Amino acid sequence: MTFTTDRRARIVVLSLATCLLSNAAGAAPYVQSPAAEASPESEPMGVRAAPLSPPATQDTTRIKANVPPSAAGQAQTNVFYLNYDGVKLKHTGKDNAKNDETAFAEFEETFQPYGEGSKRAASLQAVKADWAKYKVVITDERPDQGEYTMCVNSPTNVIGPGVLGVAMLDCEDAKVASNIVLAFHSAKDKYSASTQATTMSQEIAHAYGLEHVNEPDDIMNPYNAGGDPSFRDECLKLDSNVPVRCGDQHKQFCDKGQNSHAELMWLFGSNEPDPEPPTVAITSPQDGQEFTAPAQVTVTVEASDNVGVAQVDLYVDGVNQDAPVTVPPYEWKDATFPEGSYCLTAEARDDEPNVVMSDPVCFTVVAQSEPGEGETGEAPNGSTGGPMPGGEPGGSTGEGETQGGESTGAPATSGDSEGEGDSDSGDSTGDEPSTDSGTSGGPIIPPGPLLPPGWGQQDSDDGCGCTQQPGSGAAGLVALLGMFALGRRRRR
């Protein structure tokens, strides 16, 4: 993209990047926190840019009609959308997160996705921890209604190396209802999830009028000081390198300086306990359903919460499969189940956390029928190869009876029609099933599963590659569930 020289120079100066990247960084106050000094591997130095003022073109019509989210809060919205998935911003002279519109020409860019990996979930949880005291909603799924602030988390850096983030400064949240802020991080950068969360939380706080302070243990410190800072409940000196622009907001809580915690409490109100647990139910498979081995079963769960579902876990016979899903659809696709009986339960939790377990859903996986069993070559519906209830083999009238040594029911499973399956004329009436596969008088009752010996225990492309005894608790399914096509995203 193309920058105007004056505009870019203004941003670089405001960001203090030149102080950071030169050996003269000591010109600005910088104190390494004890936590950072104790870290075995120090992170790269970085600075968060001084926030920018809203342009005169910013549209404030929606602000006038907007209602604060609670009686205790001043803020126009308390919903923060952490966008890890990439976005194309267009310059319209105003911030509007719902329409991906930015007030600044320099931010008109296609921002690449943050990337996959453990740091994504860790940074999301760290941001939630930063804001746990305040009545806010934090999600990595774009809200489908209402106003929200969007924090774009992307390796695409529109300012320059060493700058970790930038945002608009909206004093008292009075001009912009739907801010867009930028955090220049990725799943593969050299910053910890905690440092990434500090960038995200600081840029979001700028959108509500908080400015930089000279305290490494406060989230509003502009320099990367490592550790795990918080919004401090104390009067801290504002950064003297840039002019103070939201003085009226700060003076309500601090004669000289800024009390980050007090201002956020005024903006959003105190977070109230959430006593309401989620609801969760397994919708597929159905309780009592039967499958033929080897069965590929997609497990689908419905879960909801008054605030938002944080995570859904799947249990097989009481064993957690360690394959959590954090966004809808909550499903585990094409899990392979060997022959046996299984009971599934799903556990849903919210951010409180409240935890609830679903009712169990049980199903069976039966052996495949051998060719020739039954009139159609398949086991009767519901049959597992053994005698049917009531002692009648096969459960079909007359099936298995012999007349004159010839079978009128199911064919023999070995030999010819006049071999092992024959009987002396009239000796057998088919009233009782035979339990000896080598004797005459009725069909041959398979002594066990119809699958080849050792099936499902060998490593091959055809088998499941795990040791799994029917009804053994399904602990072996951990490896199988690792192959599920898990859904991404979702919460609220």
Confidence check: pLDDT of 346 > 50: yes
Residue range 407-417, pLDDT digits in tens = 344 444 433 43
Task: Give the tokens for residue 47.
Answer: 């600075």
Higher pLDDT, 383 or 310: 310
Cα of first residue to Cα of last residue in the chain, in angstroms, is: 34
Q: For the ranges 39-48, 231-240, 336-345, which has the lowest average pLDDT?
A: 39-48
Confidence check: pLDDT of 182 > 90: yes
Q: For the ranges 89-98, 138-147, 451-460, which has the lowest average pLDDT?
A: 451-460
**pLDDT at residue 247 in the model:** 95
3-state secondary structure of 313: strand
Confidence check: pLDDT of 95 > 90: yes
Confidence check: pLDDT of 485 > 60: no
Confidence check: pLDDT of 275 > 80: yes
Residue range 352-370, pLDDT digits in tens = 789 999 999 999 999 987 7
Q: For the ranges 20-29, 44-53, 248-257, 396-405, which has the lowest average pLDDT?
A: 20-29
Stretch 100-114: mean pLDDT: 96
Which CATH number, 1.10.287.1260, 3.60.110.10, 2.60.40.10, 1.10.287.70, labels domain 273-385+467-492?
Answer: 2.60.40.10
Confidence check: pLDDT of 218 > 90: yes
Confidence check: pLDDT of 238 > 80: yes
**pLDDT at residue 56 in the model:** 82
SS3 track for the chain: CCCCHHHHHHHHHHHCHHHHHCCCHHHCCCCCCHHHHHCCCCCCCCEECCCECCCCCCCCHHHHHCCCCCCCCCCCCCEEEEECCCEECEECCCCEHHHCEECCHHHCCEECCCCCCHHHHHHHHHHHHHCCCECCEEECCCCCCCCCEEEEECCCCCCCCCEEEECECCHHHCCCCCCEEEECCCCCCCCCHHHHHHHHHHHHHHCCCCCCECCCCECCCCECCCCCCECCCCCECECCCCCCCCHHHHHCCCCCCECHHHHHHHHHCECCCCCCCCEEEEEECCCCCEEECCEEEEEEEEEECCCCEEEEEEEECCEECCCCECCCCEEEEEEEECCEEEEEEEEEEECCCCEEECCCEEEEEECCCCCCCCCCCCCCCCCCCCCCHHHCHHHCCCCCCEECCEECCCCCCCCCCCCCCCCCCCCCCCCCCCCCCCCCCCCCCCCCCCCCCCCCCCCCCCCCCCCCCCCCCCCCHHHHHCCCCCCCCCCC
**pLDDT at residue 349 in the model:** 92
**pLDDT at residue 328 in the model:** 87
Q: For the chain, what percent of residues have pLDDT higher than 70? A: 64
Per-residue DSSP letter, 56: T
**pLDDT at residue 169 in the model:** 96
Confidence check: pLDDT of 393 > 50: no
Enter the pTM of the model: 0.53
**pLDDT at residue 387 in the model:** 34
Q: For the ranges 17-31, 198-212, 327-341, which has the lowest average pLDDT?
A: 17-31
Confidence band, pLDDT 50/70/90 cuts, at residue 351: confident
Domain extent listing, the chain: 5-268, 273-385+467-492
**pLDDT at residue 412 in the model:** 40
